[in-house]
Chain A
Amino acid sequence: MAAGNTYVALASNTLSSAAASVTFSSISGAYTDLVLICNIGASASTSVNFGFNGDTGTNYSTTILTGNGTTAASARTSTASNSTDYIAFYTAGAPSGLTGSMIFNVMNYANTTTNKTILARSGSDSKEIDLVVGLWRSTAAITSIVIGMQTGNFITGSTFTLYGIAAA
């Protein structure tokens, strides 16, 4: 039996103007996992957040391992609750140009039995580099993802591409 295409581009957004957030909606449940690839710049020194299905309740938590080129640290956020503080990536800062890269992996996103886990790495050569594990305490299938800046905007030219990974 021929192998199927297991890594499928679902949607992509290249910003033609600065934007505070980007949303991928109507995500099909036909895949096993999701991968979101971002190549970004930011207009302010701040954090990047993301959330699922428009949920701004106290349903998110993260643990982060971070380094700024001098020191390493780890921090934790529990029961993050609002639209500007659910999952924070303390990385984007205000690099000049599109110097930030982020790779988000969302495992088993379409199941309706378990809470959803993310594993992500992100970094900029002039800011921080992070490894993040996150949890969304919801058994709902993920049908939309929003990624945004706490303050300021993603700069023009920032790219966001969502891939689906199929088990078979």
Chain B
Amino acid sequence: MAIAYNFIASSIVGSGGTATVTFSSIAGTYTDLLVKISARTDRASTNDYFSMKFNSNSANYSDRSLYGNGSAATSETGNSTTAAFMFAVPGASNTASAFGNADIYIPNYASANYKSVSSDAVIENNATAAIAGLNANLWSNTAAITSVSFTAIGSFIQYSSFYLYGVLKY
């Protein structure tokens, strides 16, 4: 029986941080992609965010989000089409050493259809302004996804980790 859940690649941010993490040359041999992220940025913000792009393309992204901060729930429609907007990651003003988690699922990434993305993410601040959020993204492009990049407004700091898995249905 084939292994359904396959590790493809990982990136652990080193000393000095990095603005962008990219997984490239992704084979089209899987059914879905899954990215597991633990990250924090160096921007002077409690709750930060980052963006995601496929195949280095900067067009035709859209998204909706739903998130709660411990006192209210909010839903938004993204206003950027140049990248997929992704919740949520702690910034430099967050509790020290607190990293946010994100789980990003991309079904049928190698198909000739538009690519939908489902993700959830959480920041816990052990104080105020924690965030739990969901995202629905769409990349209106029929090209198979061969690369995925994640970009912070500032930089992802050291020890931020990104793991890419391929999921097979057979």
Contacts and interface: CB of A to CB of B under 8 A. Distances in A.
Given A98-B116, A100-B116, A163-B4, A126 B105 contact: no
B23 interface: no
Interface of A: 5-9, 12, 37-39, 65-74, 97-103, 121-131, 157, 159, 161, 163
10 contacts: A65-B66, A65-B73, A67-B64, A67-B75, A70-B75, A98-B114, A121-B118, A123-B118, A124-B64, A125-B62
Nearest to B32: A37
Given A5-B3, A6-B5, A125-B62, A98 B169 contact: no
B113 A37 contact: no
Interface residues of B, number: 38
Given A9-B170, A124-B116, A124-B138, 16 more contacts: A7-B4, A7-B5, A37-B107, A39-B107, A65-B66, A66-B75, A99-B138, A101-B107, A121-B118, A123-B118, A123-B134, A129-B65, A129-B75, A131-B66, A161-B31, A163-B4
By secondary structure, the A interface counts as strand
Nearest to A102: B118
A121 B120 contact: yes
Contacts of A130: 66, 134
Contact of A103 (B3, B64, B118, B170): B118
Nearest first, the 8 A-B pairs at minimum CB distance are A67-B75, A123-B136, A67-B66, A69-B77, A7-B5, A72-B73, A125-B138, A39-B107
Contacts of B1: 5, 8
Interface of B: 1-5, 31-32, 62-66, 68, 72-77, 105, 107-108, 111, 113-114, 116-118, 120, 134-138, 167-170
Contacts of A72: 66, 68, 72-75
Contacts of B63: 125
B113 A101 contact: no
B109 to A, nearest CB: 10
A101 B108 CA distance: 10
A159 B108 contact: yes
A161 B138 CA distance: 20
Contact of A9 (B4, B68, B114): B4
B64 A69 contact: yes
A74 to B, nearest CB: 7
Given A7-B5, A126-B62, A67 B105 contact: no
A60 B170 CA distance: 32
Contacts of B68: 65, 72
Contacts of A7: 3-5, 167
Count chain B CB atoms within 10 A of each CB in A9, A123, A130 and give the residue with the most: A123
Given A65-B73, A70-B77, A159-B108, A99 B116 contact: yes
B5 to A, nearest CB: 4
B135 A159 contact: no
A121 B134 contact: yes
